């Protein structure tokens, strides 16, 4: 489905790949962003768009000479990685419960961290740059080290999947943990403070921004890139452990060569060239989908997920959705669904089936097939995955 230009009276247009009308709060949020003077050309909304903080989740915002920290968000570098292994479904039959138990023992979830720090973590060159990060996080280096290789909570997950040809895939979703959150919060506070001092008339205080060429912009950009690298390595560390667990269960621990590896952010900002100009592209709940880029679009727990390849659609700033997108809030999901609903909707999947994960029930998310139809001009599907094991954060 091609995009539609929303009927909004804003200085810059808003192009939407969602086939539903935005609610009043969502419309207001889209208008607020499209009204900012430094927004480049237009704002692009992905099919999974929904309410966020300051800017909509599922929005792609290209800017000139400025960046909005709250639009990037607090889970800096949050994203996904997936690995296709040379195994087939029959090889994991009868082993899923044990694999899940070993994942839960090897990879901390929620607020937990690692008790021991492995070499791949201590050897990361990023620690040498830690002293250059925001002064208010200087006491967090030890915590950041211990959390490297941990999942976090909320909608973060680890899944073992099968594709349509019965091949085994490993997939996980995580970000930059506490250190990324603290870096983001401190810079958001600074941006709001500067906006107040300058008496800027912003449509929303969460749209406070930094102007390029200022020390505050340079400090934020430095910390942002660091946190994005941390998030990517965090996923790599967990995936390496996950891969060893599956290899042990299937091949007696013999290392295997992945057939395909994908690792992509969906909460981040980068410098890119679009329409012949260098701009800052912030993807808040969106994946880069330049031509030949591999990406991951997960459904909910119990639904299909997709490995995709970008088509390089410049109207979307070469982007696509980052998932199905929530249909309802966590609070509403807990009120609307019961434990029986969760058990029924996750039938056949080795996962937690308790009241602690009811807010992640498939029924709380948009139908992923519908979301995929709406972005056929943005990506092509490389593999369709169905999870058979899921560990939630």
169 and 308 in a single domain? The answer is: yes
How many distinct structural domains can be found in the chain? Answer: 2
User: Is there a contact between 158 and 107 (Cβ–Cβ < 8 Å)?
Assistant: yes
Mean of the pLDDT values across residues 1-16? 92
Residue 84 assigned as binding residue: no
Residue 155 assigned as binding residue: yes
**Domain range enclosing 288:** 4-327+365-392
Residue 278 has pLDDT above 60, yes or no: yes
85 and 45 in a single domain? The answer is: yes
Q: What is the pLDDT of residues 19-77, one digit of tens each?
A: 878 999 999 999 999 999 999 999 999 999 999 999 999 999 999 999 999 999 999 99
Is residue 213 classed exposed, middle or buried when 0-12, 13-18 and 19+ CB atoms within 10 A define those classes? exposed
268 and 341 in a single domain? The answer is: no
pTM: 0.94
At 376 the pLDDT is: 96
Q: Which of 42, 134, 187, 322 is catalytic?
A: 322
204 and 352 in a single domain? The answer is: no
Residue 7 has pLDDT above 90, yes or no: yes
Residue 234 assigned as binding residue: no
**Highest mean pLDDT, choosing among 223-232, 328-337, 367-376:** 223-232
Q: Is 322 a catalytic residue?
A: yes
Locate 347 and state its tokens.
Answer: 């039938």
Question: Rounded to whole angstroms, how far apart are CA atoms 93 and 354?
Answer: 23
At 20 the pLDDT is: 79
Residue 1 has pLDDT above 60, yes or no: no
Residue 265 assigned as binding residue: no
Q: What is the pLDDT of residues 296-321, one digit of tens each?
A: 999 877 779 999 999 999 999 999 99
User: Is there a contact between 76 and 180 (Cβ–Cβ < 8 Å)?
Assistant: yes
80 and 211 in a single domain? The answer is: yes
Residue 267 assigned as binding residue: yes
DSSP codes of every residue in 49-107 = EE--SSS-EEEEEEESSEE-HHHH-SSTT-EEEEEEEEEEGGGGTTTHHHHHHHHHHHS
Q: Give the CATH number of the domain where residue 261 resides.
A: 3.90.1860.10
């Amino acid at each position: 489905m091609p995009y539609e230009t929303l009927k909004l009276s804003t200085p810059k247009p808003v192009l939407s790949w969602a086939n539903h009308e935005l609610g009043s709060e969502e419309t207001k949020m889209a208008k607020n962003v499209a009204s900012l003077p430094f927004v480049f050309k237009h704002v692009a909304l992905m099919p999974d768009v929904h309410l966020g903080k300051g800017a909509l989740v599922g929005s792609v915002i290209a800017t000139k000479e400025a960046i909005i920290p709250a639009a990037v968000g607090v889970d800096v570098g949050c994203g996904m990685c997936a690995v296709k292994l040379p195994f087939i479904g029959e090889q994991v039959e009868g082993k899923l419960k044990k694999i899940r138990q070993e994942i839960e023992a090897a990879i901390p979830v929620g607020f937990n961290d690692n008790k021991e720090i492995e070499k791949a973590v201590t050897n990361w060159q990023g620690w040498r740059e830690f002293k250059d990060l925001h002064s208010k996080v200087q006491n967090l280096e030890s915590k950041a080290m211990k959390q490297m290789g941990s999942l976090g909570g909320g909608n973060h997950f680890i899944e073992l999947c099968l594709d349509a040809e019965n091949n085994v895939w490993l997939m996980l979703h995580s970000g930059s943990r506490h250190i990324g959150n603290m870096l983001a919060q401190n810079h958001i506070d600074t941006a709001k403070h500067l906006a107040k001092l300058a008496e800027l008339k912003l449509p929303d205080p969460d749209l406070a921004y930094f102007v390029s060429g200022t020390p505050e912009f340079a400090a934020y950009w430095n910390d942002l890139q660091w946190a994005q690298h941390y998030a990517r390595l965090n996923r790599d560390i967990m995936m390496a452990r996950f891969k060893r667990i599956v290899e042990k269960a299937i091949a007696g621990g013999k290392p295997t060569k992945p057939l395909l590896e994908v690792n992509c952010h969906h909460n981040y900002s980068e410098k890119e060239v679009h329409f012949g100009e260098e701009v800052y592209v912030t993807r808040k709940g969106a994946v880069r989908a330049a031509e030949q880029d591999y990406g991951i679009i997960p459904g909910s727990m119990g639904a299909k997920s997709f490995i995709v390849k970008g088509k390089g659609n410049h109207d979307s700033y070469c982007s696509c959705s980052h998932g199905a997108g929530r249909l309802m809030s966590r609070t509403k999901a807990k009120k609307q669904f019961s434990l029986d609903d969760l058990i029924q909707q996750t039938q056949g999947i080795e996962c937690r089936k308790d009241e602690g994960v009811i807010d992640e029930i498939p029924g709380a998310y948009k139908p992923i097939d519908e979301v995929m139809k709406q972005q056929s001009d943005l990506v092509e599907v490389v593999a369709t995955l169905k999870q058979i094991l899921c560990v939630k954060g």
